[in-house]
A and B are shown apart, each in its own frame.
Chain A
């Protein structure tokens, strides 16, 4: 199956949740040093859960498509559950095989999201 599946291209062309967020609890920028892809993830946390999420950034179709697909799952998620998310969860969400050479692109969103949560820990 091609990595440029319809749903990934759709998310790349019409990204969900790509905007600024007023008064976020945390904002975290994640950069793929190998290629310059950049994602900034904003989260508003209330009562141990993600009340609102948004993101901004630039990069390839895989890194931005994956970010948009991940965003759809974030709002309402308990922080505790969020910290346990793994690369396999992202693979499942994308539904296409991720080659080794594209794994940095595909998992940049997860890295950024988890580091945003890490920034929250006191």
Chain B
């Protein structure tokens, strides 16, 4: 069954004013989730855990229901494997600090790919500085596919502690073969973290089937509120890891000399958690889950195919990582995002001009400087879609780009 876009768009009044094609930066939030946040503050607001009054109980129930919903969304075995964080960035920093500083030593390796977002680079560079661990990089070929033979040789050299890889590039929309990466890494005793910041809104995630050790994503990119994110970790790993931040909410007992930690998941949730945001995220995910992934993938796949067709018909435009003969990227492993450059038109100028016409695209390095260095471009323009985008919106882009090109001719 195909998606009823008119009905979907009713949930997003903001879309009536804009052709919003900047979903990789943040997705819009359905009204039902916005209402859930304000309803929480109106009817259930209290701090969670350890309160004995009825409001505290209501807030705690709502917060823990949200955890259950996330657990179901990514199919984790136990709900306590779901740690609420402020976003993907904090989730990855948590692993880098906690696992990194307790387990990694000089000479151990962390493997990253050139596709990574800065939030999956800098925590590991910090760890490298603190522990003397090494960071090894996997390159891509001209079509954006990871060079798996490079992963093989790094794994064969030994001492790899962790492979941390994106599930979907936030710039070129390529999907690395994460199942294969996880199998290969595990065969050599390495753990795997999946940065699912982009993946989570566009494809089904099953952490048990994937068998990844950690997986991180942000609420606001899966149509939820900003300020909340998720770290999934295998229970035995999370149990053996030291706490990341310490303070209220995460302790069992504190004396003048020392403290002991609470059990999972509280151990990793120091301080007052983002309860209203968790409620909003649960509502957004419940809303998203009414649709079949097959229908979402089919709809978004068609939009990306149309966008590629439209963009490649502009002569001075180059899609990053496209085939040289027809200037088109392979679509079978692409989704949700397209990065491109235009001869003679800087991305900032382009997106400013498109913005004036109500067409929202993003310009810059998209927090992926190593990837842009790999392409030898300083900045690119990115078109990224969500479930609510329409063919009409995609068709507005080409004429607007052509008008911008004429300004600089």
| Contact, CB under 8 Å: A59 / B352 | no
Q: Check B202 for interface membership: any CB of A closer than 8 A.
A: no
In the complex, what distance in Å separates the CA atom of A63 from the CA atom of B352? 13
In the complex, what distance in Å separates the CA atom of A49 from the CA atom of B216? 56
| Contact, CB under 8 Å: B348 / A9 | no
Q: Which of B349, B365, B372 contacts A60 (CB 8 A)?
A: B349
Q: Which of B347, B353, B378, B379 contacts A4 (CB 8 A)?
A: B353
Q: Check A62 for interface membership: any CB of B closer than 8 A.
A: yes
Q: Which of B349, B379, B408 contacts A36 (CB 8 A)?
A: B379
Q: Which of B352, B369, B372 contacts A102 (CB 8 A)?
A: B352
| Contact, CB under 8 Å: A60 / B348 | yes
Give chain B residues whose Cβ lies under 8 Å from the Cβ of A4: 349, 353, 407
In the complex, what distance in Å separates the CA atom of A96 from the CA atom of B349? 15
In the complex, what distance in Å separates the CA atom of A101 from the CA atom of B363? 12
Identify whether the interface residues of B are mostly helix, strand, loop, or mixed.
helix
| Contact, CB under 8 Å: A60 / B346 | yes
Q: Which of A51-106 contact B (CB under 8 A)?
A: 58-63, 101-102, 105
Q: What is the minimal beta-carbon distance from A78 to any residue of chain B, in angstroms? A: 33
Q: Which of A13, A34, A58, A61 contacts B349 (CB 8 A)?
A: A61
| Contact, CB under 8 Å: B349 / A62 | yes
Give chain B residues whose Cβ lies under 8 Å from the Cβ of A59: 346, 348, 378
Q: Which of A3, A13, A34 contacts B352 (CB 8 A)?
A: A3
Q: Check B265 for interface membership: any CB of A closer than 8 A.
A: no
Give chain A residues whose Cβ lies under 8 Å from the Cβ of B407: 4, 9
The range of chain A's interface size is 10 to 19
In the complex, what distance in Å separates the CA atom of A3 from the CA atom of B346? 14
In the complex, what distance in Å separates the CA atom of A4 from the CA atom of B353? 9
Q: Check A1 for interface membership: any CB of B closer than 8 A.
A: no
Give chain B residues whose Cβ lies under 8 Å from the Cβ of A63: 348
Q: Check A35 for interface membership: any CB of B closer than 8 A.
A: yes
Q: Check B301 for interface membership: any CB of A closer than 8 A.
A: no
| Contact, CB under 8 Å: B364 / A35 | yes
In the complex, what distance in Å separates the CA atom of A34 from the CA atom of B349? 14
In the complex, what distance in Å separates the CA atom of A54 from the CA atom of B349? 24
In the complex, what distance in Å separates the CA atom of A2 from the CA atom of B372? 30
Give chain A residues whose Cβ lies under 8 Å from the Cβ of B364: 34-36
- Residue from the set A34, A36, A38, A62 with the largest chain B CB neighbour count within 10 Å: A36
| Contact, CB under 8 Å: B408 / A9 | yes
In the complex, what distance in Å separates the CA atom of A3 from the CA atom of B408? 13
Q: What is the minimal beta-carbon distance from B381 to any residue of chain A, in angstroms? A: 11
Produce 1/0 per residue, B360-403, CB < 8 A to A.
00011100010010000011000000000000000000000000
Q: Which of A13, A38, A61 contacts B346 (CB 8 A)?
A: A61
Q: What is the minimal beta-carbon distance from A16 to any residue of chain B, in angstroms? A: 18
| Contact, CB under 8 Å: A62 / B378 | no
User: With A36-B378, A58-B378, A60-B349 given, can you name 11 additional A-B contacts, CB distance below 8 Å?
Assistant: A4-B353, A9-B407, A12-B408, A34-B364, A35-B347, A35-B364, A36-B372, A36-B379, A38-B378, A61-B346, A102-B348
**When A and B form their complex, which 10 residue pairs have the shortest distance between CB atoms, in order from nearest?**
A60-B346, A36-B378, A60-B348, A35-B364, A61-B349, A60-B349, A36-B379, A35-B379, A4-B407, A35-B348
30 residue pairs bridging A and B, Cβ less than 8 Å apart = A3-B352, A4-B349, A4-B353, A9-B407, A9-B408, A13-B408, A35-B363, A35-B364, A35-B365, A35-B378, A35-B379, A36-B364, A36-B365, A36-B369, A36-B378, A36-B379, A37-B348, A38-B378, A58-B378, A59-B348, A59-B378, A60-B346, A60-B347, A61-B349, A61-B408, A62-B348, A62-B349, A63-B348, A101-B352, A102-B348
